[in-house]
Amino acid sequence: MKFQILLAICVVGSQAVSFSKLVKEQWATYKVTYNKQYQSEIEERFRMKIFMENSHQIAQHNKLYAQGLVTYEMGINKYSDMLHQEFIQIMNSFNVTAMRGSEMKDSVTFIPPANVEVPTDVDWRTKGAVTGVKDQGQCGSCWAFSATGSLEGQTFRKTGKLVSLSEQNLVDCSQKYGNMGCQGGLMDYAFRYIQANGGIDTEASYPYKAKNGKCQYNPKNRGATDRGFVDLPHGNEQYLQSAAATVGPISVAIDASKPSFMHYKSGVYYEPTCSSSRLDHGVLVVGYGTENGNNYWLVKNSWGKTWGAQGYIKMARNRNNNCGIATMASYPLV
Active site amino acids: 142, 281, 301
Nearest CA-CA partner of 19 in 43, 51, 58: 51
Cβ–Cβ < 8 Å for 71, 270 = yes
d(CA 25, CA 171): 40
Cβ–Cβ < 8 Å for 145, 191 = no
Beta strand pairing status for 330-332 and 229-231? antiparallel
Beta strand pairing status for 108-109 and 122-123? unpaired
Burial classification of residue 320, based on how many CB atoms lie within 10 Å of its CB (0-12 exposed, 13-18 middle, 19 or more buried): exposed
Q: At what angle do helices 21-33 and 41-66 cross, to 10 degrees?
A: 100
Cβ–Cβ < 8 Å for 242, 114 = no
d(CA 306, CA 191): 29
Distances (CA, A) of 177 to 19, 146, 198, 269: 52, 17, 14, 33
Cβ–Cβ < 8 Å for 145, 182 = no
The neighbouring-strand residues paired with 289 are 296
